[in-house]
Structure 1
Amino acid sequence: MSGLFGLGAKKETKKAPEGPRTSETIVFPPQGYKPGPPPELQAGDEEKLAELMACVAEFRAAHPCDPAYAQLEEDWVNKQNIAPRYLRAARGDLKNAKRRIIDTMQWRRGFKPELITPDEVAPEAVTGKHVLTGFDKECRPILYLRPGRENTKQSERQIRYMVFSLERSLDLMPPGQETLCIVVDFQGASLSSMPSLSSARQVAHILQAHYVERLGRAFVVHTPRFISAFFTALSPFLDPVTKDKIRFNSPNMTDFILPSQLDDNFPGGEYPYEFNFHVYWDTLLKRCNLNPDGTRITKNAAQPTTDELHRA
């Protein structure tokens, strides 16, 4: 293997897609496929998980968040199976898991990822630099990241759009699936369209520290020569588990993704997808039960307004 993570591997040349195109966004897994079995608990894990959740309860009791944000935090604590993921991320080290889960709770209270509204980040979305469409064979939502379609200058809103995309991937996960598949496509990318190293480090930190055990697999494709130096600089900030999940210029993506679910810009893909912002945005928000102002579409009783939640 030559170069970082095999960056020197030979790339497969693929002709430009031909034939009719579609802007249909795939937001449900293919029929007949289901998530793989969950990771098995190790000896002593049940006791550790109970202690970890007790630690979360104690922290929340001693350091309550604003009442307007409390229900969102409650949902995160109780509906996302957080304890097993943080224990796995800490390799069974209970002290480490406690620290990491409290760090994430504090980050979420400040960043409020649930409250990033579609209206806020829509300007980042218009070129299709992030697209959630299709699923792999284990029903992981596929998030395509395309730096070559960058349309804005470096800002906090770019980071917030990345987090918004991660949150929407969670909405698309079917029961039993906790991870996503990321495809980073550098087609058309240039040095001027690339994120700064500091931005890339920030995104890597958020993914590794606050969306623990959420990355199932990742593919990096169409890599230009200058990417090697970029990933060499970023490498020290990626933990070994994350690195092991990344495959560069893989010719075998359809071993993991059905051809009908894989964009036909990639080897073996037969999904003739053409990005259309309005179709994509409307489909994604409807599937995720989101209003443009960020409130959830629900039949339940009255919920706090967006303004009230943002003041939390």
Structure 2
Amino acid sequence: MTDDDLLELLHRERLHDLDAVSARAGISVAEARARLARLARDGHLSLQDSVILLNAPAHAAALAIERLLQTERAEAAERSARLAAIVDGIARRTSAWSFGEAIAQDRIPLQTAHGPHAAEDLWFAVQSSRITPGGSVCAVLTDIERYRASGSERMRAFADAMSAYDSVRAILPAVTLDERLEELLRIYEDSSVEFRMLSNPPSWFWVDDDDVTALPMMWGDQAPHSVIAVSSPVIAGLARDCFALLWQQAHPIESDPGGYGALLQRMRRGMTLDAASRSLGITPRTGRRRISAAMERYGVSTLFALGVAWAQDGSPGAGPARG
């Protein structure tokens, strides 16, 4: 009898003590205790002395999922810490590095940039050394205000540089989309850049398929003015692992998730749901369905509570404020 078979037996016959399990399963008390201990570790039951307290299958599954999420979070934190330790080591040794030897060997083992546009300047400096187009880049961008303040011409030049790649994935901090940010995203999306948003990304960095990793001089700096690029398969591997975990946790960018943001914006200005629906070119029935889905998403049961929850979420889909 396997542990799964024993668990099914416990569920069917509700055996609640060690002796009953031993007798019914035809195993020794010691073996029964060992098997029950394994099932307890997996969250299926609690074993207190010789008394068995069964957990419902749904509860056991929830515990298993929570353990899996905790493991993934711990692994992400460990990778981030390892990467941070390497970055700190590189920063401490920057002054001792021989740039002349690197250039003589036609390599870019280490390169730095400083100033308010250090992140973009480093990108142009490193990518200018690529011989052929194509390849891929993964990036975590943390200073959205700097990109909002940049001129469209500079942003288009940056987007054109990324259009030479086969794949560019970028994570942004979770913010409410405004008119300026939507314009910038359109510029990049025209260059086939795929974006996702994540609450509180750990640091700015990017890594390409040439094993070049760009990092802030101080790991965790959200708006770095001093950055460094390192050519190392080891660091690139850590950076890719870190990015992959962050990408899984991030969510696609939606200016109006579920289609209810524009409805709520109009209702906040005093329109009825039916009037707001018609102003958007949809039927009142469709409008009511979208609002119902929004209530389900936020776990509320009244329009007032929905408005409060939506506002606390940053009013996604509301669009730019109007005077």
Pair in the same fold by TM > 0.5: no
The higher radius of gyration belongs to 2
Higher relative contact order structure (alpha carbons within 8 Å, sequence separation ≥ 6): 1
Question: TM-score, structure 1 length as denominator?
Answer: 0.27
Structure that is richer in helix per residue: 2
Question: TM-score, structure 2 length as denominator?
Answer: 0.26
Structure that is richer in strand per residue: 2
